[in-house]
Amino acid sequence: MRIGIFGGYGTGNFGNDASFEALRDFLRAEMPDADISAICSKPEPTAKRFSVKAVGIAAPRPEGIWRKLDTLALRQPSTWRNWARTLKLLNDYDVILSGGTGVFDDFRDTPLGWPSVLLRWCLAARMKGVEWRFISVGAGPIVNPIGREMMKFAGSLARQRLYRDEDSYQFMQKLGVNGPTDGVVPDLAFLLPPVADAERPAAGPLVVGVGMMTYHGWHSSAGVYEAYIDLHARLIEWLQARGYGVRMILGQTPADVGAARDVDARLKHKVLTLREENATSIHDAMAVIAETDLVIASRYHVQIAALKMGRPLIALSYGPKTDALMADVGLSEFCQDLDHVDFDLLTQQVEKMIAGRETYGAQVREKVAAMKAKLIAALKALNLSGAR
């Protein structure tokens, strides 16, 4: 069985790479004779990190005068080149699994970007008779109406669609994309093992992990970013004034390093350490979380890393996926909209979680174990041996 795992891997996004790693490890355990490779955004770092064959989702656009000519020709030369390349590459696969990531959205992209790429691959796979399944993917919003139709068509070409949250499932259903085996499963990253808890001095202060991300909002607003930095500087000042230790947690490097440094500049002292700055994976994020007692985070896969480590979580949400995640672990009362954070309520949430952290921690561990079991059962039911 020749299996390609398709997605935006290798870009430095810990969550995307965690999805690939988790699916690869599951497939290797269940199908040890399968030939597993990556079809991804950045093949070189993916191949190096995960020791797999990797090819790029798209051929690079030409440079210089050739790029200008390609643009003048409405990208038709590069489009047809990519079509020929995609059809050729699909000769090497029996099944494609689009694993994790927010596949069905057009975040700051035009129809000629990701919607076009996804449609090309799904349509080419159908033409070549290669089975396609979406596994634990996110969906929505799709702002551009042309991009929406392209993604709707791409999704309809798959044999099966499993979404990482109910909102994604409902979004695609409303577009008319549905099938008898479609459903909702937990995020693939829940398959990954947690790291060992760090040894902590018994008399040491309680430590709060604060997740940092370079957040500009959906429409890339400088004002939204400034508000995000102000909020987190104020939060860390509040925590440190009460004697708590603070550890910054990053979920994408180098992208999130800038935000962490901006908070340090606002505080006029360093909280970010070299260890956190040099993090490269969700495992590194979990290793930092291992030195904390609870976590406050906005990036989705930092939230998952905290839950994987059994830590009580306060979530600052920028999308329905976080709301659904917090509901799944019974912590909805500790979730706020990142664009409209009530700081007084946030400090109350912190104090309540600190007071009940042992109870909330036990609750998290129980819920996460159930989510992992549900995910494993769904993956075992895929029956990939019948592909092609």
Q: How confident is the model at residue 60 (pLDDT cuts 50, 70, 90)?
A: confident
Give me the pLDDT at residue 319, please: 87
Give me the pLDDT at residue 28, please: 97
Q: Which of 14, 11, 9 is nearest to 301 (CA)?
A: 14
Neighbours of 42 (CB within 10 A): 18
Percentage of the chain modeled with pLDDT above 90: 86
How large is the average pLDDT for residues 287-297? 97
User: What strand order describes the sheet that includes 313-317?
Assistant: 245-250, 207-212, 294-297, 313-317, 335-337
Tens of pLDDT, residue by residue over 236-245, are 999 999 999 9
Helix (H, G, I), strand (E, B) or coil at 336: strand
Is residue 254 over pLDDT 80?
yes
The CA distances from residue 95 to 19, 92, 172, 323, in Å, are 17, 9, 22, 32
Tens of pLDDT, residue by residue over 308-348, are 999 999 999 998 999 999 999 999 999 999 999 999 999 99
Helix (H, G, I), strand (E, B) or coil at 197: coil
Tens of pLDDT, residue by residue over 129-140, are 999 999 999 999
Tens of pLDDT, residue by residue over 340-381, are 999 999 999 999 999 999 999 999 999 999 999 999 999 999
How large is the average pLDDT for residues 97-105? 96
Give me the pLDDT at residue 77, please: 73
Is residue 62 over pLDDT 90?
no
Q: How confident is the model at residue 64 (pLDDT cuts 50, 70, 90)?
A: confident
Give me the pLDDT at residue 78, please: 78
How large is the average pLDDT for residues 293-300? 97
User: What strand order describes the sheet that includes 131-137?
Assistant: 54-56, 35-40, 2-7, 95-99, 131-137, 160-163, 183-184
Q: Going from the N-terminus, what domains does the chain have, and what CATH number goes with each?
A: 2-57+93-192+372-386 (3.40.50.2000), 207-355 (3.40.50.2000)
Give me the pLDDT at residue 74, please: 62
Give me the pLDDT at residue 386, please: 52
Q: 301 or 204, which is more confident?
A: 301
* Average pLDDT of the chain, as a whole number: 94
Contact 294, 208 (CB under 8 A): yes
Give me the pLDDT at residue 66, please: 64
Taking the C-alpha atoms of residue 224 and residue 213, their distance in angstroms, rounded to an integer, is 12
Is residue 388 over pLDDT 60?
no
Is residue 217 over pLDDT 90?
no
Q: Locate 299 and state its tokens.
A: 């990036």
Q: Locate 247 and state its tokens.
A: 């550890």
324-329: long-range contacts (C-beta < 8 A, 24 or more apart)? 324/165, 324/166, 324/167, 325/165, 325/187, 325/300, 328/186, 328/367, 328/371, 329/363, 329/364, 329/367, 329/368, 329/371
Give me the pLDDT at residue 202, please: 80
Q: How confident is the model at residue 79 (pLDDT cuts 50, 70, 90)?
A: confident
209 strand-pairing partners = 247, 295
Q: 29 or 60, which is more confident?
A: 29
Q: 329 or 112, which is more confident?
A: 329
Is residue 35 over pLDDT 90?
yes
Neighbours of 86 (CB within 10 A): 22
377 Cβ contact partners less than 8 Å away, ≥ 6 residues apart: none
Give me the pLDDT at residue 89, please: 97
Q: Which helix (H) or strand (E) holds 315?
A: strand 313-317
